[in-house]
A and B are shown apart, each in its own frame.
Chain A
Amino acid sequence: MKQEVLYALDTPYRQRMEIEGFRFGSGEKACAIVGGIRGNEVQQMYVCARLVQAFRRLEEQKAILPGNEILVIPCVTRFSMNVGQRFWPLDNTDINRMFPGYDQGETTQRIAAALFEAVKGYRYGIHFASFYLPGDFVPHVRIMNTGYQTASLGNLFGLPYVVMRTPKPIDTTTLNYNWQIWESNAFSLYTRDTDRIDEASAQQAVSAVLRYLSRVGVVKYNCHSGYMSTVINESTLAPVLTPTGGIFRPKKVPGDPVEYGEVIGEILDPLTAELSAPVTATTSGVVFFATDKPLVLEHEVAFKLIRRLHV
């Protein structure tokens, strides 16, 4: 294991911000793994830290196959994490909307450029990401439909779902999208939590990455075979919107089956605790995403459902 400072930035009134990376094995650039790009992505950092541990052991056991180099960057912005802010503290910009970056540009463009320089050119790129809506997911691999992607590789993680996303203009500045444009096979992995640590889903994520890397011939690792992944298109997920504002009480969690018309949550009046409105399933299927906000506006995404296929 080689621990390196990949980038350093002088900042006023604080220590230099550094991006630390951990390199394993040697040879061809096989896989780059990136954790917390945002300051609240604690679970994402933790999963990567556990991977650093796992790769160190595998390296000691000579289980990283010759000719393969792996780079892990658990935390890109300790600068935000240390002050409890999701985005860049000075101007509230999101580094995951700055790729591929620009080394002569604004501060966050420079950070993105430095990170991208470090992680580009790898055969596989894995980013532990968080969604712009707070909530819990069924663990899944997300792949951007850029025309360069290989959906079938996503199955090798052995997670329950592989989600294909057709990029919108706003996606063109993410790490995942730019990795693919630069011909890496890019995957975003979503686990259950973001700003709290969930041991079970962290372990699941670590196993998924090791399973993947053993299946593509980068590490030697004995693992359970995982799930037979179901590939779904993100656009086919059915949103369930809150009918009014108030206290949100979910009755289902990700992974639960639901029936069309079933009450899967409720909105309570925040001052009287009386039922304001039920939240009902818009289709039969499985809960893919559930918001974890206790207070909701009207017209928020309470759930996203995977439609059950009628065969």
Chain B
Amino acid sequence: MIQKVTGLSMAVHEQLELYKHRYAPKPGNDTGRRVCIVTGIHGDELEGQYVAFLLGRRLKEHPEFLRCTVDVYPAMNPLGINTIQRGVPLFDLDMNRIFPGADDGPAVEYFAHKAVEDMRGADIAIDIHASNIFLRELPQVRISEETAPALVPLAKELNIDFVWVHAAATVLQSTLAHSLNAMGTKCLVVEMGVGMRLTRAYGEQLTEGILNLLRSQGFWSGETQQPRTPLVSKDEVAFLNAGAAGIFMPETLHGTHVRAGQVLGVIADPLTAEEKEVVTSPVDGLLFTLREYPVVYPGSLLARVLKQEVTA
């Protein structure tokens, strides 16, 4: 059933609307639990759109397997997705920096508040992001240290490649995930793929993972594949930032294992036809982030490598 969560009138005869699709269990199958699948907070991240579609198809195909309510919110920032903008048009702040929103706040904060209130009481939430237009990411779950004990076991069911447990930052207290976790809903943040594109293999991988997570909680009685075992890292991540301006051309495939000293790419100057920087991996490990957008400034993130021993 498609439900309107909230709406606001815009300037010229149009409503800004937030919708969700509620997939309810068959009578007699309801455990009374609820799971929220949320995506589209950043309007330039589209990987979650495919997951919302695929997951919805699976749930419609076999409603008899469902043991909980699943609410799918495909477009938390509908105007951003509609206009190909990361943020909310006409609003300065990143939508994922204003949660839990405010009833008496400006329009976008009010919108965020209504969304959070609608999710209140859910048992689990999965907030699907897709990096940005600059970087391509392996499917991963990011968890802040203080929520790791509760969330890492759930993340391991999600069929992702990597769980990144990171230090808490005060500014991240204004994310949707932080608000939901503070309200008692276990919220996992997924990052995968790249902005403005769909990576179908990742969408299929995560959809399978979501069903597997539901199954692990007794919320889904259908068969699912055995999930892959993710690497769990506590910040053992090497960051590679550009030292020069120019165009970056990767020379290593994303998602592969690299060795210390291996060339990951070069930064070139199209005007002088010179190579300005050869970028090499400082460590052995998994190349889980790789730059997709070619133009770089000094400081632009080029790659991230999860440090690990490479087994020969």
Contact = CB atoms under 8 A, between A and B. Distances in A.
Interface of A: 9-12, 86, 90-92, 94, 97, 104-110, 132-133, 168-170, 172-173, 239, 241, 244-247, 270-271, 295-301
Contacts of B244: 10
Contact of B299 (A105, A245, A296): A105
B93 interface: yes
A251 to B, nearest CB: 19
Interface residues of B, number: 41
A10 B298 contact: yes
B84 interface: no
Contacts of B9: 244-246, 297-298
17 contacts: A9-B298, A10-B244, A12-B269, A12-B295, A91-B132, A105-B241, A108-B299, A109-B299, A169-B97, A170-B171, A172-B171, A245-B12, A295-B12, A297-B90, A298-B8, A300-B106, A300-B107
A299 B87 contact: no
Given A12-B246, A169-B170, A296-B11, 15 more contacts: A11-B245, A104-B241, A109-B299, A110-B299, A133-B92, A169-B171, A170-B93, A170-B171, A244-B9, A245-B11, A297-B8, A297-B9, A298-B9, A298-B10, A299-B110
Top-4 shortest CB links A-B: A107-B299, A295-B11, A245-B9, A169-B173
A132 B87 contact: no
Interface in B209-253: 239, 241, 244-247
Interface in B97-129: 97-98, 104-107, 110
Interface of B: 8-14, 16, 86-87, 90, 92-93, 97-98, 104-107, 110, 132, 134, 170-174, 239, 241, 244-247, 269, 295-301
A271 B12 contact: yes
B106 A90 contact: no
B299 A106 contact: yes
**What DSSP secondary structure best describes chain A's contact surface?**
loop
Contacts of B298: 9-10, 107, 110
A9 B12 contact: no
Contacts of B106: 133, 299-301
A19 to B, nearest CB: 14
A198 B38 CA distance: 44
Contacts of B110: 299
Nearest to A91: B134
B241 A106 contact: yes
A141 B270 CA distance: 48
A168 B299 contact: no
A107 B300 contact: yes
A172 B11 CA distance: 33
